[in-house]
A = this chain, B = another copy of it.
Amino acid sequence: MPNPGRLFLQIPGPTNLPERVQRAMDMALINHRGAEFAEITKKILVRLKQVFRTERGTPLIFPSSGTGATESALVNTLSPGDRVLAITIGEFSAAWSRLAKAHGYNVDVLELPWGSGIGEEAVYEKLAQDKSKTYKAVLTIHNETSTGVTTDVRAVRAALDRAKHPALLLVDTVSGLGCTDLRCDEWGVDVAVTGSQKGLLLPPGLGLLCVNEKALKAMESARSPRSYFDWAPMIEKNRAGFFPYTPVTSLMYGLDVALDMLLEEGLERVFKRHHRLAEGVRRAVAGWGMKTVALAPRDASNVITAVYLPQGYNADTLIARTEKELNLALGAGLGPLAGRAFRIGHLGWTNELETLATLGGVELGMKLLNVPFTLGSGVAAAQQWFLETHSK
C-alpha cells in the first residue's frame, strides 16, 4: 500500500518537480527536424547562456545523464595519455577522476579530505610543481554532493592564474548550476558540466555543458575517439536549432519552461533562496547538537547538507524508515560515509514549508531510532532563522 499524501523527495536531486515543468513535458511530440522545434532549441540556447553566466561560451545539450556530460568534457579537449590534475573532495569528484583514467588520460589526483573545501593554496602548490606545464586540464567539482561542500571556483581559477598555468579549467557543476552561483565568464571556467535533474528543475536525462573559446580551440587538436559526445557536429547542427541525432523532445519542452522560471525569479533570488533554506537546515542540525560533514561553515553547500548521526546509530536505517514510514526520501551516505551520515537535499523549486516538513520528518525518524536530541529543536531553530530573514 502506498504512503498517503505527497512524497517529500529530499535527495540531492532529482527534486520535487514544479508542476508547470511537468505539464510542459506532458505534451504531444512534434517533429524534431521541423521549424517549431528549431525555435524552441534556439530560445533554450540563448537562455542557457544566461544561466551559465556567459556571453562568450557555447551551451551544449546531450541526451545523457550528467555523467555523460563529464565524459564529453574530457574526450573533446584531451588526447589519450594527456596529463590532467583531478582535485577530489568526495565521491563525485573522485568518480570523475576514475572516468578520466578509464579514457586513458594520465590522471594526477590532488586528494583532499572528505568534508573539506578546495583552497587556492593547495591547488597552487600542485600546479607550481608542474614546472613544464604538462597538465592539459584541471578537473574540479563545484558542488560535491556526497559531502555537502561547495568549491570556491574563483580560488581554483586564482591558483591557475597565479601559477600562470595554461591548463583548461573543467568544472563539474551537476548539482551546482541553478542553485548556487557559477560565473563561467568571470571565473574563467573553460568547460562547465551539468545535468538536468538538479537546479534546472527537470527529470534526469539531459547532460549539459558550457564550453568557451579556449575549450573549442583545444577540441581542434584533441584526438580522443568520440562520436556520440562529439561537440563539433552538435555545434554545427545547433546553429539551425537542430541536433545530430534525436534529442529528448519532452525534456526540451520542460527545459524551455524551467529556464523561464529561473529567469523570472532571477538567479540572484534563486541563489539567495537556496542559501536561506540551507541555512535553516544547518541551524536545525546545530539545534540537534549534531555535525554536518562539511567541516567549515564557509564551505557548506546551499544545495545539500550531509549530517553525521551520533555513533551507534545507522543512517541507512534512518533513511529506510523515513522513506517507508513517513514518505520522506533522504540521501544515503556514500563511500566512507555509508551508514554514518545521511543527506538532505534542499534544492530546486522548494520553500520554507517543505524544509520544515523535511526537518520535522527527520526528527521523527531519528526518534524512531532513539537518537538522542530534543524533539522539535531543529524545526524551531530553522523557524527562528526563517523569521529573522523573512523579507516579504
Among A1-41, those with CB < 8 Å from B are 1, 3-9, 11, 13-17, 19-20, 22-35
Query: In the complex, are the beta carbons of A5 and B204 less than 8 A apart?
Result: no
Query: In the complex, are the beta carbons of A264 and B1 less than 8 A apart?
Result: yes
CA distance A14 to B203 in the complex (A): 19
CA distance A248 to B66 in the complex (A): 11
The copy count of this chain in the complex is 4
Among A228-272, those with CB < 8 Å from B are 228-230, 244-251, 264-265
Give me 15 A-to-B residue pairs in the complex whose CB atoms sit less than 8 angstroms apart, sorted by A's number: A4-B265, A4-B273, A9-B28, A9-B30, A9-B31, A34-B323, A65-B228, A80-B225, A102-B225, A103-B227, A195-B246, A203-B249, A326-B351, A376-B376, A376-B383
Partner-contacting stretch, out of A82-90, A149-157, A296-304, A359-367? A359-367
Partner-contacting stretch, out of A136-144, A158-166, A186-194, A384-392? A384-392
Instruction: List B contacts of A197 (CB < 8 A).
Output: 29, 246
Partner-contacting stretch, out of A112-120, A121-129, A327-335? A327-335
Instruction: List B contacts of A3 (CB < 8 A).
Output: 351
Distance from A327 Cβ to chain B, minimum over Cβ atoms (Å):
5
Query: In the complex, are the beta carbons of A361 and B356 less than 8 A apart?
Result: yes
Closest partner residue, chain B, to A22 (CB atom): B26
Query: In the complex, are the beta carbons of A29 and B6 less than 8 A apart?
Result: no
In the complex, whether A375 has a CB less than 8 A from a CB of chain B is: yes
Distance from A260 Cβ to chain B, minimum over Cβ atoms (Å):
11
Query: In the complex, are the beta carbons of A29 and B4 less than 8 A apart?
Result: no
* Contact A28 to B4, CB < 8 A, known contacts A228-B71, A392-B324: no
Query: In the complex, are the beta carbons of B103 and A225 less than 8 A apart?
Result: yes
Query: In the complex, are the beta carbons of B5 and A17 less than 8 A apart?
Result: no
In the complex, whether A226 has a CB less than 8 A from a CB of chain B is: yes
Mark A residues whose CB is within 8 Å of B. Answer: 1, 3-9, 11, 13-17, 19-20, 22-35, 63-68, 71, 80, 98-99, 102-104, 195, 197, 203-205, 224-230, 244-251, 264-265, 273, 323-329, 331-332, 349-354, 356-358, 360-361, 363-364, 367-368, 375-377, 379-380, 383-384, 386-387, 390, 392
* Contact A66 to B387, CB < 8 A, known contacts A5-B354, A9-B30, A33-B11: no
Query: In the complex, are the beta carbons of B33 and A205 less than 8 A apart?
Result: no
Instruction: List B contacts of A228 (CB < 8 A).
Output: 64-65, 67-68, 71, 99, 229
Query: In the complex, are the beta carbons of A29 and B361 less than 8 A apart?
Result: no
The 9 closest A-B pairs by CB, nearest first: A376-B380, A5-B351, A356-B360, A357-B357, A67-B245, A205-B248, A31-B329, A353-B357, A26-B26
Closest partner residue, chain B, to A244 (CB atom): B67
Distance from A144 Cβ to chain B, minimum over Cβ atoms (Å):
16
Query: In the complex, are the beta carbons of A29 and B14 less than 8 A apart?
Result: yes
Cβ contact of A5, chosen from B24, B224, B331, B349, cutoff 8 A: B349
Known: A228-B229, A326-B351. 5 other contacts (CB 8 A): A5-B354, A33-B332, A64-B68, A65-B248, A360-B383
Instruction: List B contacts of A376 (CB < 8 A).
Output: 376-377, 379-380, 383
* Contact A17 to B28, CB < 8 A, known contacts A225-B102, A360-B360: yes
Query: In the complex, are the beta carbons of A383 and B364 less than 8 A apart?
Result: yes
Distance from A33 Cβ to chain B, minimum over Cβ atoms (Å):
7
Query: In the complex, are the beta carbons of A29 and B9 less than 8 A apart?
Result: yes
CA distance A143 to B98 in the complex (A): 37
Instruction: List B contacts of A205 (CB < 8 A).
Output: 63, 205, 248, 250-251
Query: In the complex, are the beta carbons of A245 and B375 less than 8 A apart?
Result: no
Distance from A274 Cβ to chain B, minimum over Cβ atoms (Å):
10
